[in-house]
Amino acid sequence: MDRDAAGDPGGTTVRQPASAAAAAATARPVILRGWRHTDLQFAGGVSQSRMRTFRPGHLAVDYTRTMMASLLWRPRPALIGMVGLGGGSQAKFCHRHLPQTRVEVAENNPHVIALRRTFRVPHDDARLQVLLADGAQWVRERRGRFDILLVDGYDASGIPAGLSSQRFYDDCRDALAPGGVFASNLYATDFADHLAKLRRSFGAGRVWMLEEARQSNRVAFAWLDDPFPEGRIDLPAIARQLPPRLAKDLAGEFARVAEAWRAR
């Protein structure tokens, strides 16, 4: 499905994928609309994204909030990269709450991008760009670019092979700016294999995973350099660097992550 930026209803900047046939073969998501939520699903009835009807910018799914704890590593990111748009939960949240931050998103499924208006993802502007692109290739082309890189790329069968290879994780490391942090969603997958690859890319002491209490998700963090002086997360100091509304919204997640960091 080819669209130029002017013709796309979501205002998306479109890059032609390497194979038009591959783009045409991507699965069409199913939209479930309820009074309280709108869900994006593929096969198996598992929701890949959820939007609250009356709070479209709210992070309604626990693991998405945990992934945003990457701000503890980099509370003032100039550029955040995302692999996987889905319903745009994190892109919307960052666009709303981080006015000094630019967000770039790679999504390889044109049918997902076509739902951008449905999920109220803002049009591209000076602070947001959504590209139709292969996530692995997109990351490979952006060495030293991102302060935060969030990976949540799934298709109908799970995490694609291209987003779970050793080369991909090496490229994620190389795509980070000095002091940068990576976070990924690991759902219904061999998380131990992903962690082993991340440790080979970042080093054993720079990879950490948290399990979600109410979901089958795990969030893996990996980072460059030494993120926290004296090895502890100083929440009050970090909160002062964040926009007040964001710090308040994510206070519970920040506290949970900081406590887990102390106990690790």
CA 140 to chain centre: 16
pLDDT value at residue 246: 97
Query: Rounded distance, CA 59 to CA 57, Å?
Result: 7
- Residue with more model confidence, 75 or 25: 75
Query: Rounded distance, CA 155 to CA 93, Å?
Result: 22
Query: Rounded distance, CA 139 to CA 174, Å?
Result: 9
Query: Rounded distance, CA 194 to CA 169, Å?
Result: 9
Mean pLDDT of the chain: 84
Q: Categorize the per-residue pLDDT at 1 as very low, low, confident or very high, splitting at 50, 70 and 90.
A: very low
Mean pLDDT of 67-89: 95
pLDDT value at residue 162: 93
Please say if 152 is a catalytic residue: yes
The residue from 8, 124, 152, 171 that is catalytic is 152
CA dihedral 126, 128, 134, 135 (to 10 degrees): 120
pLDDT in tens, 153-197: 877 677 889 999 999 999 999 999 999 999 999 986 789 999 999
Q: Which amino acid is present at 28?
A: R
Query: Rounded distance, CA 237 to CA 225, Å?
Result: 19
pLDDT in tens, 19-72: 433 543 377 766 666 666 666 556 555 556 666 666 667 788 889 999 999 999
Q: Are strands 37-41 and 176-187 parallel, antiparallel or unpaired?
A: unpaired
pLDDT value at residue 47: 58
CATH number of the domain located at residue range(s) 62-263 in this protein: 3.40.50.150
Query: Rounded distance, CA 84 to CA 62, Å?
Result: 17
pLDDT in tens, 221-236: 999 998 897 889 999 9
Query: Rounded distance, CA 193 to CA 126, Å?
Result: 38
Query: Rounded distance, CA 131 to CA 14, Å?
Result: 5
Residue pair 196/164 in contact by the 8 Å Cβ criterion: no
Select from 208, 146, 196 the least CA-distant residue to 171. Answer: 146
pLDDT value at residue 43: 59
Q: Categorize the per-residue pLDDT at 15 as very low, low, confident or very high, splitting at 50, 70 and 90.
A: very low
Full-prediction pTM beyond 0.75?
A: yes
Mean pLDDT of 121-127: 94
- Residue with more model confidence, 2 or 35: 35
Percent of the chain exceeding pLDDT 70 equals 78
Mean pLDDT of 98-105: 97
pLDDT at 120 over 80: yes
Token readout for 56 is 């479209």
